[in-house]
Amino acid sequence: MKWNYNIIDNLDWGKNITRLEEKEKVANAIAAMVKNGECLGIGSGSTSYLALMKIAERVKKENLQIRAITTSLEITMACGRLEIPTAGLETGRPDWTFDGADEIDPNFSLIKGRGGAMFKEKLLINSSPKTFIIADRSKMVSRLGMNFPVPVEVFPQALSYVAHALKMELNPREIKLRMAEGKDGPLITENGNLVLDVWFDFIPNHAEKTIKHITGVIESGLFIGYNVEILNP
Ligand code: 5RP
């Protein structure tokens, strides 16, 4: 049964999309790869959103039957609006996944999580036999941490302990609690947690594991040495 007033019918990305032309190019490349019957893992962010729009065009035109496993509410809602059925990772597994990134270094290690969805993004990428990272040219950096902090999702009561342990173990330049937009106080993730944005002058290769070992850390946005293929415009 349909809602009389479906609030998601009028939703769009809701913000200005930077480097739109470049993002649309990689979005088109992703859409061209989709095959009938596939289950797709869909990451978060504006580039993933644009790719989903392009996929939906093909679904409609060619009557493709696909399913999506999503990493954030924004993409789940977009799938709902586009009538693309969604599945959960509890029972489903993607044939392949695509996702965006904030930074990509020459070894294809990544910083992700500007959108605060890095826990589910990492879970999906680890669950997927193949992942494409779609990114405009501004995301390519000579070393991680140049333009973006490393986001760390933290169980709320562990906030001060995690900040202290991060400082002791990795000596970052700055640690900031991410604040919400459109709500007073800190950002709350879809998992009910907080996010620390951690700025580094240098990110050692062991940083991802070191951060993950701190009690209270749910996940970080560092993806060091993952088996991903980068698609640039
Ligand atoms: C969200 C992410 C995004 O993939 C990343 O921030 C890139 O976003 P955009 O495609 O809007 O540049 O990791 O958590």
Q: Decide the pairing of beta strands 222-223 and 110-111.
A: antiparallel
CATH 3.30.1370.60 fits 150-220, yes or no: no
Going by C-alpha positions, the residue among 145, 140, 165, 162 that lies closest to residue 153 is: 162
Given a cut of 90, whether residue 230 has pLDDT beyond it is yes
Q: Does ligand 1 lie within 6 Å of residue 118's CB atom?
A: yes
Q: Does ligand 1 lie within 6 Å of residue 99's CB atom?
A: yes
Query: Which pLDDT score, from 0 to 100, does residue 190 have?
Result: 98
Mean pLDDT of 195-216: 98
Q: CA Rg, the chain, in Å?
A: 18
Distance 62 CA to ligand 1 centre (A): 29
Question: Which residue's alpha carbon is nearest to atom 4 within ligand 1?
Answer: 100
Identify whether the C-beta of residue 135 lies closer than 8 Å to the C-beta of residue 48.
no
Q: Where are the beta strands (DSSP E) in the chain?
A: 39-42, 67-70, 96-99, 103-104, 110-111, 131-134, 150-154, 174-177, 194-199, 217-220, 222-223, 228-231
Kindly report the number of other CB atoms within 10 A of residue 7's CB atom. Answer: 9
The H-or-E segment that residue 7 falls in is none
The CATH number given to 7-140+227-231 is: 3.40.50.1360
Distance 27 CA to ligand 1 centre (A): 13
pTM of the model: 0.96
Mean pLDDT of 178-186: 97
Distances (CA, A) of 83 to 4, 49, 55, 70, 184: 16, 14, 12, 14, 34
Q: Does ligand 1 lie within 6 Å of residue 112's CB atom?
A: yes
Mutate to test the pocket of ligand 1, among 74, 97, 102, 219 (most ligand atoms within 8 A of CB): 102
Q: Does ligand 1 lie within 6 Å of residue 113's CB atom?
A: yes
Report helix, strand or coil for 231: strand
Non-local CB neighbours of 1 within 8 Å, separated by 6+ positions: none
Render pLDDT for 130-152 as a digit per residue (tens, 0 to 9). 999 999 999 999 999 999 999 99
Going from N- to C-terminal start, the domains of the chain cover 7-140+227-231, 150-220
Residue 28 CA to residue 34 CA, distance in Å, equals 10
Active site residue 219: no
Render pLDDT for 59-70 as a digit per residue (tens, 0 to 9). 999 999 999 999
Question: Which residue's alpha carbon is nearest to atom 3 within ligand 1?
Answer: 45
Given a cut of 90, whether residue 14 has pLDDT beyond it is no
Q: Does ligand 1 lie within 6 Å of residue 149's CB atom?
A: no
Choosing from 121, 153, 208, 219, the catalytic residue is 121
